[in-house]
Amino acid sequence: MDKGGKRRIAFLGTGLMGAPMARRLLRAGFPVRVWNRDATKSAGLQPDGAAVAVAPAEAAQDAEIVFTMLTNGEAVGQVLFDSGCVDALKPGAVVVDCSSIAPDIAKVHAARLEERGIRYLDAPVSGGVVGAEAGTLAIMAGGEAALVQELADVFAALGRVTHVGPNGAGQVCKLANQQIVAITIGAVAEAMILVEAGGASREAFRNAIRGGFAESRILDLHGARMIRRDFEPGGTSNNQLKDLNAVAALAEALSLDLPLTTQVREAFKTFVAEGGGGKDHSGLLLHLEKLNPKSG
């Protein structure tokens, strides 16, 4: 801990989500050392008081808590185990992985860290860049309930944490969350196409149904994006497809048939193949408009 009694934190991965999360921790008074593969992204946190490391192991040196917010399970494994990061941690330290990765990979990471006396939570988040900036993220934590409670003050700077089960359960819940997000984006986009083809205003339609049974954060934020045609990424379609692929793999392992998820996954696969991977996932509207060229 520092002189003020705050635990020392390393934050690895300061991209779209990681940077505002690290900034929230800094503003809550935690000493934070940051690292990112693209050093310009971590350097941007220096004015907020972050110490910038040139390597993951340097960031983790003397850290009591290590947050990871990285692209996928392979990236998390490389940063934690192949870069020397874990070797820099002392027994009793905690790794909190906020990345969206496959549940089985989270379980493997938990086991490997436990062998070294390092505690682990898989704690993916929902709420996007807006939630990360506002400190209103929904955090789904898998691991020991007592550890989640122990870190309550840390999580409070980021949003609302819920203990959802043992290691891996956080990632299962995040995948379920991503199912709902993807299917709802598809539903809102198709509704936008329908109302415009029928002669109504997309903006007036969205305003009319606000507060009714169709209200949702997707209608609020992504519906507005669709109306403005603003598809700069908060969450990319590449990442949405990655999560839907993980849902499909888990469903197959559990012998589940998820037809709605299958259909929206195929739509995202096509959209990404058409070059839409870097666009926000609300950009699925563009793919659906392409299927309906006379809708306007």
* Catalytic residue list: 174
| CA dist., res. 149 & res. 106, Å (int) | 20
Strand-pair category, 119-122 with 125-126: unpaired
DSSP the chain: --TTSPPPEEEE--STTHHHHHHHHHHTT--EEEE-SSHHHHHTTGGGT-EE-SSHHHHHTT-SEEEE--SSHHHHHIIIIISSTGGGPPTT-EEEE-S---HHHHHHHHHHHHHTT-EEEE--EESHHHHHHHT-EEEEEES-HHHHHHTHHHHHTTEEEEEEESTTHHHHHHHHHHHHHHHHHHHHHHHHHHHHHTT--HHHHHHHHTTSTT--HIIIIIHHHHHHT----SSBHHHHHHHHHHHHHHHHHTT---HHHHHHHHHHHHHIIIIITTSBGGGHHHHHHHH-TT--
74 and 51 in contact (C-beta within 8 Å)? no
Find how far residue 146's CA is from the centre of its chain: 23
